[in-house]
């Protein structure tokens, strides 16, 4: 008798429908993979929009001047590198005299390394100017002024951000080379990682201008891994066949164009956790309801691409930081690196062991 009270027929139809509607709806594995392939195709298409870069450079004189300077200096670096690789090195390879054997070292020391170093340094400054100008053309001076400060605090924050960026670039390059030594799958994994790294630095200027913190930038890329993998594919492919210096100079040569294309790109999906909203009609009513379709649990929404890089950066920042006593507060993963990037440092006053650690915040306002 009691079991009949809880039979399916005794439950009202509207209650069964309400319970069913609250249960999450998932896409199939096939549909989720097709969705990721579509995102990858969008990323690849955005990375080939050279017409946007050309039109932006042709439209603005300041943008054109900085791109021209970057192209000229990086072309000089690339020509110097190829001159050594294909001309000088084969000529002096089998020479017996000491001077002839070491002419390559003199060329590298007195010309090649200084030119490449100056080129990379100036290219970093010019690319920042190119990104700022492109962002200003799109959104106006007021939008950029809200994100950048001309005060002493803003200057120190910019210095801290630049220093942390250099550490992250170095760590990413080291991880990319280390992945290549994994047997069998190492070269493929290293190349895929390089695609994501290239995409990150192409979009980094845009994310910083929007006020996104380090954790938000990393999460934004990792949750749209298919799009950014495809966006970084062309630049990574161009910069993997030559020597290390040649690849760096070639990437510096094409980097301004990819920054401009990243400014005009539209990464997808907009919401990785609900990429598809299907409008369905209820059986009992004529009203339209939105059914949220989540990706299949068997296809990852977020891939921790930069987990190793953040772990190494966290260790480097902890080693370089001057720490006092423990504050009794547990830090989340990569908090130290994010504080370093945003200009927050902990310093020991060294005055007395009984005094607590003082914290000097260069930028006390969190952006995230």
In a domain, 215, yes or no: yes
Q: Residue 62's closest CA among 358, 279, 260, 347?
A: 260
Rounded distance between C-alpha atoms, residue 47 and residue 1, angstroms:
68
Share above pLDDT 90 across residues of the chain, in percent, rounded to a whole number: 37
In a domain, 2, yes or no: no
Residue 260 tokens, joined: 């401009």
In a domain, 127, yes or no: yes
Segment-wise mean pLDDT, segments of 10 residues, the chain, 368 residues: 47 54 82 95 96 93 93 88 78 66 72 80 88 88 56 64 77 89 92 95 91 90 96 92 82 93 94 70 44 87 93 82 46 52 42 39 41
Q: Residue 72's closest CA among 311, 252, 282?
A: 252
Task: For residue range 125-137, list pLDDT tens digits in order.
Answer: 899 899 999 999 8
**Please, which residues have CB within 8 angstroms of residue 205's CB and are 6 or more apart in sequence?**
127, 128, 131, 132, 135, 259, 262, 263
Q: Residue 229's closest CA among 203, 210, 206?
A: 203
Rounded distance between C-alpha atoms, residue 46 and residue 191, angstroms:
20
In a domain, 187, yes or no: yes
For residue 109, give the DSSP letter.
I
- Domain extent at residue 159: 26-274+295-324+331-338
In a domain, 359, yes or no: no
In a domain, 86, yes or no: yes
In a domain, 343, yes or no: no
Rounded distance between C-alpha atoms, residue 263 and residue 199, angstroms:
12
Task: For residue range 250-276, list pLDDT tens digits in order.
Answer: 999 999 999 999 999 999 999 999 887
In a domain, 179, yes or no: yes
Q: How many domains are contained in the chain?
A: 1
**pLDDT score at 281:** 39
């Amino acid at each position: 008798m009691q079991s009949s009270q809880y039979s399916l027929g005794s439950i009202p139809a509207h209650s069964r429908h309400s319970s069913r509607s609250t249960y999450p709806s998932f896409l199939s594995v096939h549909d989720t993979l097709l969705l990721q392939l579509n995102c990858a195709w969008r990323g690849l298409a955005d990375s080939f929009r050279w017409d946007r870069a050309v039109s932006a450079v042709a439209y603005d004189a300041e943008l054109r001047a900085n791109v021209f300077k970057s192209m000229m200096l990086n072309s000089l670096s690339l020509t110097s590198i190829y001159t050594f690789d294909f001309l000088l090195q084969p000529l002096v390879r089998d020479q017996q005299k000491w001077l002839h054997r070491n002419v390559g070292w003199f060329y590298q020391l007195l010309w090649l390394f200084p030119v490449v170093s100056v080129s990379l340094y100036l290219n970093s400054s010019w690319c920042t100017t190119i990104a700022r100008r492109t962002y200003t053309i799109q959104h106006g001076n007021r939008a950029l002024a809200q994100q950048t400060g001309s005060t002493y605090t803003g200057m120190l924050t910019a210095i801290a951000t630049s220093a942390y960026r250099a550490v992250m670039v170095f760590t990413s390059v080291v991880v990319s080379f280390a992945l290549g030594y994994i047997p069998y799958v190492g070269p493929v994994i290293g190349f895929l990682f390089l695609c994501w790294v290239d995409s990150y630095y192409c979009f980094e200027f845009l994310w910083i201008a929007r006020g996104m913190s380090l954790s938000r930038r990393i999460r934004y890329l990792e949750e749209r891994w298919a799009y950014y993998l495809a966006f970084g594919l062309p630049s990574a492919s161009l910069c993997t066949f030559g020597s290390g210096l040649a690849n760096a100079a070639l990437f510096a040569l094409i980097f301004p164009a990819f920054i401009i294309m990243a400014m005009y790109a539209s990464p997808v999906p907009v919401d990785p956790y609900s990429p598809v909203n299907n409008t369905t009609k209820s059986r009992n009513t004529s009203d339209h309801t939105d059914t949220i379709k989540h990706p299949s649990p068997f296809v990852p929404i977020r891939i921790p691409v930069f987990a190793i890089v953040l772990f190494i950066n966290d260790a480097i920042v902890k080693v370089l930081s001057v720490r006092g006593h423990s504050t009794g507060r547990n830090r989340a993963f990569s908090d130290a690196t994010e504080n370093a990037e945003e200009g927050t440092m902990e310093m020991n006053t060294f005055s007395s062991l009984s005094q607590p650690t003082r914290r000097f915040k260069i930028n006390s306002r969190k952006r995230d």
